[in-house]
Amino acid sequence: MPERHFLTTALRLALACALGAVAFVATAAPEDTMAQRMRACTACHDDQGRQGTDAYYPRIAGKPYEYLYNQLRNFRDGRRHYPLMTGLLQEMSDEYMLEIARYFASLDVPYATPGGAALPAAQAEQARKLVESGDDSRKLPACAACHGEALMGVQSAVPGLLGLPTDYIRAQLGAWRNGTRKAAAPDCMADIAHALTPDEISIVSAWLSTRPIPPNAAPAQRAERKAPMDCGSVLDARGSVGR
């Protein structure tokens, strides 16, 4: 009887240990979710893609998915240049990049309070006019004509311009102006960046970075104005995702 009791107790202990080991393995193994897979992205772009501490890691959460998809392809295919991004994407398929783009586009997380230094009144007014009205004498369209009246982008391929640091906006416009950033032809942003002077690029970048985020911080479902020019990046992205 004591021997039977001992064996029963030993079997129970062995079973408990086995079940505990299984439970430990189950809890210790990382979940195979998109959030887990995207830790390679959020390591730089911050938790949930909000924005990294470095101005050159912009917010990607909530951006239109076709825009994100297009930028992933641009890094992979050499139209944008950043070795870390190229290394991450060089062997990635279009299908998986589209999945990544849809994931980050679906995230709805709060925006940080806008930073940046306020411009002198005259420069702020000049920047506002360029952003909201453009300059017809130079055939320079308003930023709002493509990026939405609220400047939060337009579904599903035009990005927002708010919630970005001055240095990031300035760097991207500068890259289009000097040819180190490209998009599919017709490259509308390259044309616009060439039409702007370096001083205008600086004040527009600074003005945009100080704008408050509107209550409905999401891309518009459709453009409020007729597009003033064709943009190859928009047409290319829509063609690639079968729209």
Angle at 57 between CA 56 and CA 61, to 5 degrees: 140
The pLDDT assigned to 55 comes to 79
Burial class for 235, CB neighbours closer than 10 Å (0-12, 13-18, 19+): middle
The per-residue pLDDT for 7 is: 37
Which one has a higher pLDDT value, 150 or 184?
150
**Residue of higher predicted confidence among 64 and 8:** 64
Per-residue pLDDT, 28: 54
Residue pair 46/149 in contact (Cβ under 8 Å)? The answer is no
- What is the 3-state composition of the chain as percent helix, strand, coil, each rounded to the nearest 5? 55, 0, 40
Could you state, in order of their start, the residue ranges of all structural domains in the chain?
Answer: 121-233
pLDDT of residue 4: 41
Closest C-alpha to 61, from 222, 170, 238, 219:
219
Q: Look up the pTM and report it.
A: 0.83
CATH superfamily to which 121-233 belongs: Cytochrome c-like domain (1.10.760.10)
pLDDT in tens, 76-124: 999 999 999 999 999 999 999 999 999 999 999 999 888 888 999 999 9
173-220 confidence digits (pLDDT tens): 999 999 999 998 999 999 999 999 999 999 999 999 999 999 989 999
**Alpha carbons 209 and 114: distance in angstroms, whole number:** 6
pLDDT (tens digit, 9 = 90+) per residue, 1-48? Answer: 443 443 344 444 344 444 344 344 445 556 899 999 999 999 999 888
> How many beta carbons lie within 10 A of that of residue 84, not counting itself?
11
